[in-house]
Structure 1
């Protein structure tokens, strides 16, 4: 009887240890599957260890026409969401408000237009150039 008890104990112990090892392997597999695939580091965030990439250099200011064509035209060419259409009297009316007001509206956003329009990477000078380009298109 003692031998049977020993065999059963050894069998139970091996099942317990095998299950425990399998659980550890399963946990490791789950941890591996749910780990983050990357991280985001915002420029100026010191907790990133300097890993934030510097903004891409544009090689100088883009012209108003270039900014308009690549960023502003998405809405201003069609008048989407009430945007004043390029090359229409809409811009003559806005030009009368003055460049300062137009700059403030473009940088802070106005109505459906988000701040800086669709040009988050534009400098203030590039936004000014694009506004001048649109105002000069007025008919």
Structure 2
């Protein structure tokens, strides 16, 4: 078997083994910080807690893995500029880059909400 085919097969197998999306979990978790709770509820939750929007769900690390592998700086830059259906800044007019970084860490499960 060629390495590319083997790698593709392994990727598909592992993807199929991941937990199915749980919209209730995505809707029910909130950052510990009151400020981040407000920012998240106003600007992020509408897409990141609803399956089918194209946005990775909050509290579903497997949906964030490929994005995080590109690096936090690149991910924050995508948020600031807008990406796909996500508007620039993620529609968070009050957010600075540190807020975006903290919200990404919270939503992806990669380190709390600082």
Output the CA distance in 2 between the equivalents of 1:131 and 1:122: 12
Which residue is equivalent to 2:59? 87
TM-score (norm 1): 0.48
Which residue is equivalent to 2:47? 75
Q: 1:116 offset after TM fit, Å?
A: 0.5
Q: Deviations over 1:48-100 (max 9, x none)?
A: xxxxxxxxxxxxx9754543233201110004531111122111222111101
SS at match of 1:82: coil
TM-score (norm 2): 0.57
* Match among 84, 87, 98 for residue 111 of structure 1: 84
Q: Deviations over 1:97-126 (max 9, x none)?
A: 110111010000000000001212211211
Counterparts of residues 1-139 of structure 1 (less than 5 Å): 64-88=36-60, 89-136=62-109
Output the CA distance in 2 between the equivalents of 1:132 and 1:66: 16
Which segments of 5 or more consecutive residues in structure 1 lack a partner in the other structure? 1-60
Q: Which has the larger radius of gyration?
A: 1
Which segments of 5 or more consecutive residues in structure 2 lack a partner in the other structure? 1-32
Alpha carbons 1:65, 1:130 under 8 Å: kept: no
Aligned length: 78
RMSD: 2.5
Output the CA distance in 2 between the equivalents of 1:64 and 1:85: 17
Write out the 4+ residue segments of structure 1 that deviate beyond 4 Å after TM superposition. 61-66
